[in-house]
Amino acid sequence: MAMTMTQKILAHHAKLDNVVAGQLILADLTGVLGNDITTPVAIAEFEKAGFDSVYDPEKINVVLDHFVPNKDIKAAKQSAACRSFCKKHEISHFYDVGKMGIEHALLPEQGRITAGDCLIGADSHTCTYGALGAFSTGVGSTDMAAGMATGKAWFKVPSAIKVELKGKLPEGVSGKDVILSLIGQIGVDGALYKSLEFAGDGAGELSMDDRLCICNMAIEAGAKNGIFPVDEKTLTYLKEHGAKEPLVFEADADAQYDQTIVMNLDELVPVVSWPHLPENTKPAADSTEVKIDQVVIGSCTNGRMEDMEAAYEILHGNKVADGVRCIIIPATMDIYKQCISNGYLMAFIEAGAVVSTPTCGPCLGGYMGILAPGERCISTTNRNFVGRMGDVTSEVYLASPYTAAASALTGYITDPRAALAANKEEN
């Protein structure tokens, strides 16, 4: 029986020859992930259930990233609970202050994910790792607790939507524009409990950072997971980051999809998702009347090295507009160090931006960039729900690092292509 790429991975980990959409399976996990918000809840459930050991200390990942360095006493207690649990159970892949990063950028960077893996994480954006040819999805803290104890998880096998990518992205257009455009086309529930499976020659043209960004936001279309084929770029990335030996699965040629969507990458333009849903996508060029108060460049969606490079390309030698707060957050300590080495941090500061150590802080309205009533922010994060970044009357506009950085210079939402062209002329 023909299967999609996701279905083949799930069948393998369930030790079954075939699976079909809608089938309930019990799969072996190659990894479990939690952060400083979700892990304490999982710990409580783990202990409540009477578990006294984890299934494999080497396969559990705990990353302190949402409110770290701790923003208040409650956050400090949550982090302390994680530290105590990881020490007790000898969990080696515990990432604390000084070596942590935003979890979905950190784990691929640290070689913790490889092609063919089956991983759950108590964070909805765990679907990021499909960029590496893995099945990964977000779960609740109770499922995380069960996963830590047993190394298994129940899944309903998803059906799939095939997204065939053609062409190559134009200058100033990135993976963020791809996924925002797709969500704008199908809606926030357009892929509800389905696998978004990317394919086509255009998929191979995308960088790994773009693929990670795209899969990260698969959940914003309601998808169970997003996934890319494993190609030479994937294998090179995995090797460079010290990941274990990949297990490569490919969709059958006659695999069944609920829908096939064709996207011509060379026709895409910089876009912005207006409040209060990621599906409210408009061209950045049609959004120039929107005055902004804050810019955030970072998060598990767009805090990677290529995102920092995009921000630098726009900001260096220029000045952030008066009245605009520009916050830049490299996603991991390695990215932070590379930004220092490349001179990016100095350029950001001289432009009038502030630079934070890795944290999810402003993305979820936690800290490091809370919005006051009526304020507007253009952000490279993944959600723009009511009150997501602060007061319920504030507004969040989602965009790429190029668009966010260009908007920081003008104080209004701005198509970045003019800024890129102007920088080229000057240089």
Flag whether pLDDT at 112 surpasses 70: yes
pLDDT of residue 248: 97
Clarify whether residues 182 and 310 are in a common domain.
no
In a domain, 165, yes or no: yes
Clarify whether residues 90 and 192 are in a common domain.
yes
Flag whether pLDDT at 295 surpasses 80: yes
Give the structural domain span for 359: 271-422
Clarify whether residues 218 and 294 are in a common domain.
no
In a domain, 54, yes or no: yes
Flag whether pLDDT at 426 surpasses 70: no
In a domain, 255, yes or no: yes
Which of 247, 264, 281 is where one domain is finished?
264
Clarify whether residues 149 and 228 are in a common domain.
yes
Clarify whether residues 257 and 306 are in a common domain.
no
pTM for this one? 0.95
Clarify whether residues 291 and 209 are in a common domain.
no
Which of 222, 248, 264 is where one domain is finished?
264
Neighbours of 219 (CB within 10 A): 25
Q: pLDDT digit string (tens) for 390-409?
A: 999 999 999 999 999 999 99
In a domain, 402, yes or no: yes
> Edge to edge, what strands does the sheet with 294-297 contain?
281-283, 271-273, 395-398, 376-379, 294-297, 325-328, 354-355
Which of 264, 291, 317 is where one domain is finished?
264
Sequence-distant (6+) residues with CB within 8 A of 258 are 159, 160, 161, 194
**What's the domain count of the chain?**
2
Q: pLDDT digit string (tens) for 339-374?
A: 999 999 999 999 999 999 999 999 999 999 999 999
Clarify whether residues 276 and 247 are in a common domain.
no
Clarify whether residues 401 and 314 are in a common domain.
yes
Answer whether 381's CB lies under 8 Å from 296's CB.
yes
Domain CATH for 24: 3.30.499.10
Please give the sequence-ordered ranges of beta strands (E in DSSP) within 58-133, or none if there are none.
60-63, 93-95, 118-121
In a domain, 325, yes or no: yes
pLDDT of residue 425: 67
pLDDT of residue 419: 80
Sequence-distant (6+) residues with CB within 8 A of 360 are 35, 65, 66, 67, 102, 299, 300, 366
- How high is the mean pLDDT of the chain? 96
d(CA 14, CA 50): 26
Clarify whether residues 192 and 111 are in a common domain.
yes
- 262's enclosing H/E stretch is strand 259-264
